Amino acid sequence: MWEKLLLSLINKHRGKTIGILIGLLASILFISYGFWKAIFIIICISLGYFIGRKIDEDKNLELWIKQLFKDKEQ
């Protein structure tokens, strides 16, 4: 019963469901750790997600990092 409801919510309202879960997680972090520690945790999670997505997409992570930190003056 609950599985069907959850799958229905995820399939029909994916963005809203993800938004609610992110909001819930953020509120728990803010209450538990305070604003700045929670922001740091959120930044680390976002960075980890971004790097993981690049790896999943078979992008050249080493090339991307080199481009990110290359000297802009040259």
pLDDT in tens, 49-65: 887 777 777 667 677 77
Segment among 1-5, 22-26, 55-59 with least mean pLDDT = 55-59
pLDDT band, residue 33 (cuts 50/70/90): very high
- The pLDDT score that the predictor gives to residue 74 is 54
SS3 for 65?
A: helix
- Give a yes or no: residue 74 inside a domain: no
- The stretch 14-38 carries a mean pLDDT of 89
Full domain range(s) for residue 42: 2-68
- The pLDDT score that the predictor gives to residue 7 is 86
- Give a yes or no: residue 16 inside a domain: yes
pTM of the model as a whole: 0.59
- Give a yes or no: residue 73 inside a domain: no
Q: Which ranges of the chain does DSSP label H, i.e. alpha helix?
A: 2-12, 14-33, 35-56, 61-68
